[in-house]
Each structure stands twice: as structure tokens, then as C-alpha cells.
Amino acid sequence: MTSSPPLVPPPRLLMGPGPITAHPRVLQAMSQQLVGQFDPAMTGWMNDTMDLYRRVFRTANEQTFLVDGTSRAGIEAALVSLLEPGDRLLVPVFGRFGHLLREIGERCGAEVHTIERPWGEVFDVEEITSAVARVRPKVLALVQGDTSTTMNQPLAGLAEALAGDDVIVYCDATASLGGNELATDAWGLDVVTAGLQKCLGGPSGSAPITVSPRAVELVQGRRHVEAGIREDRDTARGTRIASNYLDLAMLIDYWGPRRLNHHTEATTMLYGARECARVLLDEGLDESVERHRLHGAAMLAGVQGLGLSVFGDQAHKMHNVVAVEIPDGVDGDAVRAGMLTDYGIEIGTSFGPLHGRVWRIGTMGWNARRDAVLTTLATLEQVLREAGAAVTAGGGTGAAREVYAG
């Protein structure tokens, strides 16, 4: 017998920057029994999932599917498949995840150029387009919503401004998708990736991706078929993609009508990803964004109503997360521990230059809800008072209620 006990998760309300509490429908879907990899039921669900995510990403891209890994696997699949060693990559960096794009680009052997904004700010579209004109990159890689700073980079108008350039635009929408507007085709984004653990209300472990026809063409130019699968192995074309697991050309063959064996699709994660999209589309994309806007506004008003300050350019904050400055003299980690221990509520810490300076409080997915917002504010008031902070009694829930009252 094992010494470890059965898994009984403690009750938690996850109000950090993600992962967040999963939607019950998603967990129900993920408890379903498996079918075979090429079962007609399975390939039907794969096709169905492609269609659902086309709607989620607002795209007509045929090549819209899942990468079997966390959101970071989706990012790396995009960059390693698009970039050959020596290719120029431009990354506008305004938080931790911009650094990640730069880092992955470097590992791909790309010549990486960055422009940077201080944490808490975003770029003007003109700053990006002028950098593109200067650097002339093959790929422009951008984060839409960077949870490290809570900022949401405006992307509308970028493609029109870049129309004369031949740059492939990649966007990491992990933190923003479902809670903030994203229009892949209307905005001219070539490749967009996401994860389930933010506004989609699922667990980490599956990365939806969409790839435009011209990005597919680029990737297919580097396509190789694995030995031992078929006798008619393709001969080399272009520089082979450095990863097998994250090779988008092979993933396209696997998800497409050829169904060419690659990895064994992570069935349970597919069930979860499919249900995340169904939950979102049942509500409606616009309705989900509006819900995230409302509850994000209530949380923002609430923390301000408690007397706390917030970090960053609030005009460009994502709807689904707010960075709250830790008051002087208050131990940020002790407050987080108090929230978790006494109330079962998780709020987030932060990274890099913001470490120890802000908490990050999320209102996303299933937890972008009135009771979740009000409970977090009510309990945060108690914990802050116990920590010796000056807080306005009832100021948090009161301000949030005012937002809800319109």
C-alpha cells in the first residue's frame, strides 16, 4: 500500500492571476472515460474542438487546434516553428511574459530585438510599427495581456499600420482570452496561443492555438515526416524545426484529415479544453468580456474603497486582474497566508521588479462572479486590519456594490 492519502483538495477560492477555480462543467467533462486516439468519436471531438476555438479566437483559420502542454508549450510551438536560426524577431517587452518571448526566441537561435516599456505601461501602436520598420523582423511577437503587470496591450490597428511589411505577427493571449476583446482575423494576427487556466476557467495543461494561412505556408515549408510512420517519408524541405514535440507542421498533419500519428492526444485535457470553449460560447464572447469588465471594475473599486492604491496604467488594465500595492509596513506574504489559512481564498504574489510591492487579484473565468468579488473584499478587509493596515470599514464591499448597482 502507498503511504499517501487519497486526493481531497482543500476548499479554495482562487482569486489570484491564475490558475483559478475551474468551472464545474469542465471538471465534469474531464472525469469522462477515454476513447481511442483514432476512434471516430475522438476525431469528431477533435474537429469539433477546432471549430469551437475558431469561434473563441474569432478566426476563419483552418489550422486552429490544441498543443498538448501548458500555455508556455503553445508559445514555444509558435516561435520554434516560425523562427529559423538567424531570423530576426522583434519583441515589445512590457512585463515578464515579454521577457519569456525574448528568451524562447533566443533559444530558437533568432536574432532578437526588443523594445521595452516600464512595467505598468503599454506601447503605442506607432512605437511598435516604427520598431518594425527599423528592425524589419520576420516575426513580431507580442503579449496581449501580461499578468505580471496586469496590462493589456492594444492591438487593434496594428495590422493596418503594418500592411506594407511582410512581418508575421504572433500574439500570446493566454491571460486575456475570453475576458478581454481579441479578434484574430480583424486585427491581422497570424498566430495566437492561449491556455485554459485564466478566463477560460479550466486547468493548465492544454494550449489552444490558431495559425493563419500564410503562417501555415511558412511552417509547411519546414515540414518533415517522422521515420517509422510511413514508407513514403518526405525528403527534407527547409530547415527542420528544432523540436519534434512542438513542431506545428507535424501537429497540423495530426489534427488534419491525414491524421498522421504524432503524439498520443491528451484525451482528458482535450475534454477539458472543449468544455472550456463550450462554456464560453454558451455564454457568448461579448457577454463574457462584459462580465469580466464588470467584475474587474467592481474589484478595482473595492480595493480602492478599502483605501488601497493600485499599480499601473488603469486605462490599459486587463479586465480580469488588478495589481494592488502592498501598504507600507504590511507584510505582503503574511496577508496572502492569512487569506488562504483563515478564509481559503488565494490572492497572488508577483515577480521581478514588483516582487514584494504588489498583490495581484484576479476576477476571471468562473470566478468573475459577484459573490467571489464581495467575499474577497470582505475577507481582505479583515486580514488587512489584523495586519495593522489602515482600512475603511465596509469600504471594499460598499464600493463594489456601487459598481454593481450601476
Site for its own copies in 228-267 (CB under 8 A): 228-231, 240-246, 261-267
Peptide bond into 118 cis (omega under 30): no
C-beta separation of 368 from 179 below 8 A = yes
Q: By CB under 8 A, is residue 222 in contact with its own copies?
A: no
Figure out which of the listed residues 120, 145, 179, 203 binds its own copies, where binding follows CB under 8 A: 203
Q: By CB under 8 A, is residue 22 in contact with its own copies?
A: yes
Q: Please give the Cα distance from 347 to 217 (Å, whole number).
A: 43
| Binding residues for its own copies restricted to 35-54, rule: CB under 8 A | 35-39, 41, 45, 48, 51-52
Report, in Å, the least distance between residue 406 CB and its own copies: 27
Q: At what angle are helices 370-386 and 395-405 packed, to 10 degrees?
A: 160
C-beta separation of 203 from 272 below 8 A = yes
Figure out which of the listed residues 7, 163, 315, 405 binds its own copies, where binding follows CB under 8 A: 7
| Binding residues for its own copies restricted to 323-362, rule: CB under 8 A | 340, 346, 349, 351-353, 355
Q: By CB under 8 A, is residue 406 in contact with its own copies?
A: no
Contacts of 8 (CB under 8 A, 6+ apart): none
Figure out which of the listed residues 120, 137, 195, 338 binds its own copies, where binding follows CB under 8 A: 195
Q: By CB under 8 A, is residue 32 in contact with its own copies?
A: yes
Contact region for its own copies (CB under 8 A) — 23-31, 121-129, 132-140, 377-385? 23-31
Q: By CB under 8 A, is residue 312 in contact with its own copies?
A: no
Name the grid cell of 348: 497572488
Comparing CB distances to its own copies, the nearer of 353 and 398 is 353
Q: By CB under 8 A, is residue 205 in contact with its own copies?
A: yes
Q: By CB under 8 A, is residue 106 in contact with its own copies?
A: yes
| Binding residues for its own copies restricted to 131-190, rule: CB under 8 A | 148
